[in-house]
Structure 1
Amino acid sequence: MARDYFLLYLIYGFAFINMGIFSIQGKDAEVTDLPLVKSLKYLGYFGISHGITEWITMIEILDIYSNLYIFLFVIKYFLKAVSFAYLMIFGISLLPLKHRYRKIILKVPIILFLVWMTGFILLSVYYGQDYLILNPKYNIIVLRYIMALSGGIVSAIALYLNGKTIEKRKSNSMAKRYKGLACIFLIYGLLDGLIVKKMNFFPANIINDNLFLEIFQFPIQIFKASVGITINFLLIKVIDTFGWEQKEKINRLEERRIASEERRKLGLEIHDSIIQSLYAAGLKVEYLIKNKSEDNIEPMLKEIKIDLNNTIDKTREFLSSSTLEIIEMEDLNYNLQQLVRKFNENQDIPIEFKSNTSQTNYGHLSPEKSTQIYYIVQEAISNVIKHSKATYAEVLLESKYDFLYIKVIDNGLGISMKGMNFEKHFGISSMEERAKRIGGILNIDKIGNGTKVEIMIPWGDTRHEGQDKSLISR
């Protein structure tokens, strides 16, 4: 029997260590915006540390280092606590949360780890080194019921939400892989978090290894080893998402190339017809100024009128036939970068631009929305420079699941929209009007030191949104 368990723990530990090594490599993390790829290092730390604990259990079963039992026990549970903390960090880092909320919640795994370690040390010092070996209740409650269970559930939820987002982007096969990985992490969380050794407290007195063996007629370690192998398989499949993202980027670049070609053709047509017609009308006006003979005035004015009417018709035709319907996310990102650069060149307040966009997270923007966003940000930065007396400002562009999020903050005097007289603040009134025009929300709040301007703009429903809004006036 001991040999059978030895093999199970060997396979189980190997599966998680292999997953950890694969994940920790950080494949293409610097050239992709996928949240999963950027969070893989935490999954890697979890896999390696958790796999080592299973191998330590394997050594304990063989009883080959009995003189080091207490030392191995301490190392094993320290690594278990580290692994479950990293599992929670992995799940939290994938959740679709605002950066400030995620930053706060990411402290929870660290706090739980410190709480466990403090209790572990105090109990060992007060009751003796072998107390926690003989009384595993503390480790089961904190490590298994709290950290392992919550880590598995949070990771499952985060992976499922990422899968739903990818599903919206018409990649059903990739979404299924995310959801499959979510299911297996949920199973892992339930297995490692709930099913423990039978003990005389709830729920360990009901849900335990013995109950599992009675129901399924095989030890839970076999199921755990299968889960580890399945996680490896699905994770490798999910990493193929990077290839999908690259294809998406190539497609977008091709669309931009086509759009650029359309712009070039449109520019040539405008030059060859509209500008030439206006130039001809201008020459006729110049002729009339120099030759004021009454015989020539009326017929010449009629010709000028015909030329101008033809020009107006051609202009309308170009505007209605223009295929430049979508301003891509990359375009807005670039335009805002250039806007911030120009402001930095012409005034003394340093402004930093940050962009947190993911290919899987964003939809499309109509020219109307892109243009209004640009001018809202421009007005917000202008207000910082003119009125805030700040020494620093920051512009954040972030893609969310259902909307585009923009934030402009400074460390100046600070203002708020609450109780504001908009008649005296034309710029802010204009910002709010622009946001409403495109279905967005504008919030301006006073923070500790300074002002925070938040703009939330929903994505376009289709790639042809804004077809009739090709001409945008400032």
Structure 2
Amino acid sequence: MENSAGFFLLYFFYGLAFYTLGISAMLQNTQAEGRNESIFSNNIYLGLFGLLHGTTEWLIMIRPMNFFNDYTFHIYALQLLLNSASFASLLYYGLNFKFLKLNTSFKKVIPYALFFVWLAGLLISFEAGSYREIFDLYSAFSRYFIGIPATFLTAYRFIYLSEKVKVNYNVALARQLKRLSISFILYGLYAGIFISNKGFFPNTVINSALLQASIGLPTEFLRMSMAVIITIIYLKSIKLFRVEEDKKMRHLLEMKLQYNERKRIAQKLHDEIIQELFASGMIIESLINYSDTLSNNDDLIQVKENLNESIDSIRTLMNNLLPKRFSLELFQEEIEELAYKYNELSNVSINTNFNFTGQGDNWLPDQSTTHLYYIIQEAVLNSIKHAQSTKILIRVKSNLNFLTVTISDNGRGFKKNVPEQSGHLGLQIMQDRARLLSAEFELKSDQSGTAIEVNLPWGTNPDE
């Protein structure tokens, strides 16, 4: 089998699929830098998984070749290390996304810790038997204790993201992410559980021989198939995301062009039509003052009243042409004024940070601004009154998809599952306001402080 054409083709496409996944993920990570896109955050680790795993499969492919006979040990050792490192990279990717409620330091450390514990065990056991037996055993350990958690956590990440994008993007992308989640679960089963019998439980019962006897296909073929499927679905997901992103860009551009055209028409009405009508009214006023005929005066007064009504109608039309809008710069001034006011009224240091880069537009509907302002005010007041904090930071930033508002403090925090605790009514009001905006509302609170984050998608308007 190892020297057959089928063996080489299987592992060639196996490695190629993961190389394609790795390069695609790396490219998406680069393009998404600084844009706060949760779908592409930490994609460098998914890319590392793809590249390292692809290299592993190609090392398996070249190992039986005669001209590598003198390097069999080195190839085997490199293959083993890269395979374990690839699973550690995938575990980091699966653990480190902001909606997984675990301690941040724990999420960052655990993949490295598992890898180095595995490596230490390998080095300690190296003298206990032949290197092939040790390598086979520790290959199984890396699959069981790093690979299975990595694939399952990555699957959880994609299933969670599929629920998020239903609101922010579309059902088609959510469907692809769900398929990607299922594919990673299946790959985890084929590559982590259904492996050759290494003599430990439950591997002695559930292994590749059992799977092949049940369905008649070798495990390697199933793994290769899932690698190809994962890569195809991932590429489709990228395409769908970019299509939706382009649609959003076009929509924002159309809105901006429409607004500019309405603004131009309103400006023309103000600068030309209203001014001409006003001038005509002044002429009529002069005629009224200098006219001696009463009947003529009545007619002129009626004409003037009609002109004034026309001017009022045009002004109403102008107001309707331009929806109430609030520039981000003016919003920033309002928040800075709020921070200054509560700085003066309390002993808490309140700072602001604004970063408006890459936004789709530089305005907000008036109602959205009102809700965001009161969410910030309520969060600041809760922090001052209940959290015993000494520092509060208000951060407002924008990207292509969202306006993000974060209010964080260094107070004592609170338990979210205690409804009678002070400040929970204010929390409910903030959540209700965010819901009215179709915005994401996230709360994190522990002994080191509280952080409230509101993500408002561009283009939402509660007035409509």
Q: Tell whether the structures are fold-level matches, with TM greater than 0.5.
A: yes
In the alignment, which residue of structure 1 is the partner of 2:256?
Answer: 256
| Pairing of 1:101-250 with structure 2 (within 5 A) | 101=101, 104=103, 107-108=106-107, 110-122=109-121, 124-125=123-124, 128=127, 130=129, 133-134=132-133, 139=138, 142-168=141-167, 171-240=170-239, 241-250=241-250
Q: CA deviation at 1:130?
A: 3.8
Structure 1 residues 91 and 436 mapped into 2: Cα distance closer, same or farther (>3 Å)? closer
AA of the residue aligned to 1:351: T
One-letter identity of the residue aligned with 1:77: L
Q: Match of 1:14, as an amino acid?
A: L
Query: Which residue number in structure 1 is paired with residue 463 of structure 2?
Result: 466
User: 1:296-311 to 2 correspondence within 5 Å?
Assistant: none
Matching of residues 388-407 of structure 1 within 5 Å: 393-397=393-397, 406-407=405-406
Change (3 A) 1:125 1:63: farther
Q: CA deviation at 1:368?
A: 1.0
CA distance in 2, matches of 1:282, 1:40: 69
How far residue 194 of structure 1 moved from its aligned partner, in angstroms, is: 1.8
Query: Alpha carbons of 1:229 and 1:454: their partners in 2 closer, same or farther (altered >3 Å)?
Result: closer
**Unpaired stretches in structure 2, ≥5 consecutive residues:** 286-293, 344-348, 415-419
Q: Out of 21, 33, 42, which is 2:23 matched to?
A: 21
Partner of 1:324: 323
Shift of 1:197: 1.5
Q: Which has the higher contact order (CA 8 A, sep 6+)?
A: 1
What corresponds to 2:346 in structure 1?
A: none
* Distance verdict in 2 for CA 1:271–1:381, change over 3 Å: farther
Residue of structure 1 aligned with 2:92, choices 89, 93, 99? 89
Structure 1 residues 218, 454: closer, same or farther in 2, change over 3 A?
A: closer
1:471 alignment partner in structure 2: none
How far does the alpha carbon of each residue in 1:155-202 deviate from its partner, in whole angstroms, 9 at most, with x for none? Answer: 233334434444445645444443443332232122112211124444
Secondary structure of the structure 1 residue equivalent to 2:354 = strand
The CA distance in 2 between the partners of 1:308 and 1:258, in whole Å, is: 29
State whether residues 438 and 457 of structure 1, in contact with CA within 8 Å, keep that contact through their aligned partners in structure 2: no
Secondary structure of 2:259's match? Answer: helix
Per-residue CA deviation, residues 231-261 of structure 1 (Å, 9 max, x unaligned), is: 3333333332324412421221121111222
SS of the residue aligned with 2:213?
Answer: helix
Change in CA separation of 1:82 and 1:127 when aligned onto 2, cut-off 3 Å:
closer
Distance in structure 2 (CA, Å) of the matches to 1:206 and 1:398 = 54
RMSD: 5.6
Q: For the Cα contact (< 8 Å) 2:168–2:457, is it kept in 1?
A: no
Find out whether 1:353 has 2:354 as its counterpart. yes
Query: Residues of 2 paired with 1:80 and 1:205: CA distance?
Result: 22
- SS state of the match for residue 405, structure 2? strand
* 1:289-348 Cα deviation digits (max 9, x unpaired): xxxxxx9xxx999999998877666655555x44637x6xxx876665676789999999
Q: CA deviation at 1:209?
A: 0.8
Contact 1:405 1:454 survives alignment (8 Å): no
- Number of residue equivalences: 434
Could you tell me which residue of structure 1 aligns to residue 10 of structure 2? 8
Question: Compared with structure 1, are the counterparts of its residues 437 and 309 closer, same or farther at alpha carbon in structure 2 (3 Å cutoff)?
Answer: farther
CA distance in 2, matches of 1:63, 1:227: 30
What is the percentage of aligned positions where both structures have the same residue?
A: 19
SS in 1 for 2:107: helix
Matches within 5 A, 1:39-118: 39-62=42-65, 71-93=74-96, 97=99, 101=101, 104=103, 107-108=106-107, 110-118=109-117
Secondary structure of the residue aligned to 1:454 is: strand
- Closer, same or farther in 2 for the Cα pair 1:338/1:258, shift >3 Å? farther
Q: What letter corresponds to residue 454 of structure 1 in structure 2?
A: I
The one-letter amino acid of 1:259's match is: Y
* 1:337–1:108 CA distance, 2 compared to 1 (3 A): same
Question: Unaligned regions of 5+ residues in structure 1, if any?
Answer: 286-294, 423-427, 468-474
3-state SS of 1:395 partner: strand
| Compared CA separation, residues 352 and 129, structure 1 to 2 (3 A) | farther
